[in-house]
Amino acid sequence: MTTSDPPAGVAIVEIPLSLRSLVGGAARLEVAGATVKEVIDRLVAERPELRRWLLTPGGQIRSSVHLFLNEEDIRNLSRESTPVRPGDVLAIVPAIAGGAPKRRISANRSRRARAAPRAGLTAEQLERYSRHLLLPEVGLDGQRRLLDARVLVIGTGGLGSPCATYLAAAGVGEIGLVDFDRVERSNLQRQLLFSTSDVGRPKVEAARDRLEGINPDVIIRTYAVRLTSKNARSILAPYDVVIDGTDNFATRYLVNDACVLWEKPNVYGSIYRFEGQVSLFDARRGPCYRCLYPEPPPPDAVPSCAEAGVLGVLPGIVGTLQAAEALKVILGRGRPLYGRLLLFDALALEFREFRLRKNPNCVLCGPRATQRRLIDYPAFCGETPTPRSDEPEAIDPVRLSAWLRSEDPPLLIDVREPTEWAINHLPGARLIPGSRIEERLQELAAHRSVVLYCKTGGRSREAAARLQRWGVRRVRHLKGGIDAWCREVDPAMPRY
């Protein structure tokens, strides 16, 4: 930006990158003129090489040239006769347009051709959305808003399934689905988007088929990728509202930070065993997730659903609440959950609500925010394996199986809960739930070698580290848990 004051009657014209090579690389030129048209005419007179890009042969400003005077589109002002005052900044912006050669007549038109019309509703839509149209809070205008809205659902698991289902049924025009997982049998207990026949399919594909079946008005975009700091911006960009249906802290912090940086409402939901949380984060209106939890818990401190289990209907309730909040945000109705955290306890059947305040020290949305870009979230959440001195040694299933069949097998301890043990356990193992392992220290220390296992490897690693701190040596744990054992050693073993 030119810092010295321009001479009187002179405007600053910003040259687009596209044309800079024609003016010796200059980003800004000072040009005199009383109106926009005069400035452009003078510019072209001084720099004839710009003429064909800016003016028609007849001397009119080309329709492919858009002009912004002090950041305001001149089409909203007095167009080319808009007066220009000294020091005003006139930006030339290329209009980007084009198209296919000619209209094709294609028999293969997909049903997307019937995508939601921008104005008015079809007879079919009037019928489909009649229960919305009856509500004064929704009505025709609200339904149009829904049909024009774009919502990104991150994770199509327990939370994303019910949420996306209701959004699609409600006629949210575009729904993006981000998930790189495939459907597993253990998902079917709560993820109602999927059928038994979907096991093994990419989740986003199965979800798209199901959602398009519910409502062909809706455009489903699928992203069968892991959301990362690299792709987050391009994935989030087109959407109005983001649903956080993730199951891990790294992605949850990533979603929050991306939503703060690019100003998207973030409908947060999380579940653990019988308890759920819901809130609506929008740093422009209230706190963000980091205001609430500035730092993630240490890895393994909070087991995932895959480790700890979850009541099947719980994500149904929480995901549905997320859908309700998203619809309210789109409709601009009701009292959205900004600045409030809703806790739901399915065992007690209790809803409780907490007020959340913006954290003045929040690194992301506070007044002295220091973080202005996405970071390495797996590292932030301690998920990147950092070799520590007290890191217990892991053993893979195949090696363990050979060792168990040897003459000097290790003592095998199952650190899961009795309910899990009842479903499956390794032959020859003893059950000592992780929380009670200290009570059996002597017994364990008496053995030459001990191997701990759990479902996926998180709890056993943590328990092994504890045993080491108590002085039990030669403690190993089964890498990947009994799940890995099922995959690699005994596929016939029942799984959960």
Partner 1 sequence: MRGEYPEEACGYLFGPRAISEGVARPIVEARPAENEETEGRDIRYRISSAEIYRIEAEAEDQPIGLVGFYHSHPDGPGRASRRDERLAWPWYTYLILSVDDGGVRDWGAYTLSVSRGSFVPIDCRVSPEGPVGPDPGRDRFEGPGR
Which chain residues interact with partner 1 by CB under 8 A?
16-22, 52-53, 64, 66, 68, 71, 73, 91, 93-104, 106, 108-110, 112-113, 115, 118, 174, 176, 219-221, 223, 225-226, 228, 230-231, 233-235, 237-238
Q: CB of 321: closest distance to partner 1 in angstroms?
A: 27
Angle between helices 139-148 and 313-331 (to 10 degrees): 110
CB of 197 to Zn ion, least distance (A): 43
| Least distance CB 282 / partner 1 (angstroms) | 20
Active-site residue, 365 included: no
Question: Is residue 365 part of the contact set for Zn ion (CB under 5 A)?
Answer: yes
Nearer to partner 1 by Cβ, of 103 and 335: the residue is 103
* Residue 290: contacted member of Zn ion, partner 1, none (CB under 5 to 8 Å, by partner type): Zn ion
User: For partner 1, which is the closer residue by CB, 62 or 340?
Assistant: 62
Measured CA distances, 363 to 293, 295, 376 (Å)? 11, 11, 15
Cα 390 → chain centroid: 34
Report the candidate in 96, 77, 94 with the shortest Cα–Cα distance to residue 36: 77
| Shortest Å distance, C-beta 263 to partner 1 | 13
| 288 counts as catalytic | no
Among 291, 330, 395, 450, binds Zn ion (CB under 5 A): 291
Catalytic, out of 291, 305, 365, 381: 305
Residue 362 touches which member of partner 1, Zn ion, none, C-beta under 5-8 Å by kind: Zn ion
CB nearer to Zn ion: give 129 or 249: 249
Question: Edge-to-edge, what's the strand order for the sheet holding 65-69?
Answer: 28-32, 10-14, 89-94, 65-69, 72-73
When asked if residue 255 is in the footprint of Zn ion (CB under 5 A), the reply is no
DSSP run (H or E) holding 166: helix 160-170
Burial of 406 (0-12, 13-18, 19+ CB in 10 A): exposed
The count of residues interacting with Zn ion (CB under 5 A) is 6
Place of tokens 């240490």: 298
Residue 369's DSSP bridge partners are: none
456: left (phi > 0), else alpha (psi -120 to 50), else beta? alpha
Cβ-based neighbour number of residue 184 at 10 Å? 15
Which CB sits closer to Zn ion, 284 or 430? 284
Cβ contact 217:125 at 8 Å = yes
Nearest-angstrom CA–CA distance, 261 and 34: 39
Cβ of residue 301: shortest distance to Zn ion, in angstroms? 22
14 vs 383, beta carbon nearer partner 1: 14
Interacting partner of 99 out of partner 1, Zn ion, none (Cβ under 5 to 8 A depending on kind) = partner 1
Contact call for residues 366 and 360 (beta carbons, < 8 A): yes
Instruction: Say whether residue 280 binds Zn ion (CB under 5 A).
Output: no
* Residue 335 host element (H or E): none
Coil vs helix vs strand at 51: helix
Given the complex with Zn ion, which of 12 and 283 has the nearer CB atom? 283
Min dist CB 118 to partner 1, Å, is 7
Residues 132, 144, 203, 290: which binds Zn ion (CB under 5 A)?
A: 290
Considering the complex, what minimum distance in angstroms separates the CB of residue 406 from partner 1? 43
98 contact, one of partner 1, Zn ion, none, CB 5-8 Å limit per kind: partner 1
Establish if 356 lies at the interface with Zn ion (CB under 5 A): no
Q: Give 211: exposed, middle or buried? Use CB within 10 Å, 0-12, 13-18, 19+.
A: buried
User: DSSP class of residue 375?
Assistant: -
- Select the binding partner of residue 112 from partner 1, Zn ion, none (C-beta < 5 to 8 A, by kind): partner 1
Radius of gyration of the chain (CA): 30
Q: Cα–Cα distance between 36 and 78 in angstroms, integer?
A: 9
- Which positions lie near Zn ion, rule CB under 5 A? 288, 290-291, 362, 364-365
Active site residues: 305, 454
